[in-house]
Amino acid sequence: MLRYHSIQDALTAIGAAAVVRDCRLVVSWEWWDALSEAERQTYRSRCETLRVRLLADHRISRHFVEVTDADEPRLSSEHGA
C-alpha cells in the first residue's frame, strides 16, 4: 500500500507509471461527499482512463489517499465512489 497527500498526486504517479495500473485508489468518504458531482465525474473518468478502481472509505482520513493492489481484498468499509 502507498499513501499520497492527494488524489491528484496519486493519479499523477499512476499516470507516470510510478505505480502499477489496475490498482485500487481509496479516498475519504467525507472528502468525496463534499465534492460536486462534476468534480466526482472528473475523477471517475480519470480513474477509468488509468484503469484504477476508485473507492471511498469512511474510516480513512481526508488528509491522504491510499493506493493498493486491485487483487487485495477490499475492506468492509470501502464502497464504490
pTM score? 0.82
Distance between CA atoms of 75 and 45, rounded to whole angstroms? 23
Distance between CA atoms of 34 and 72, rounded to whole angstroms? 27
Q: Which grid coordinates belong to 28?
A: 475519504
Q: Could you read off the pLDDT of 9-29 as tens digits, one per residue? A: 999 999 888 667 679 999 999
> What one-letter code names the amino acid at 2?
L
Rg, Å, the chain Cα set: 11
Q: What residues of the chain score a pLDDT lower than 50?
A: none
**Residue 61, pLDDT score:** 87
**Residue 73, pLDDT score:** 58
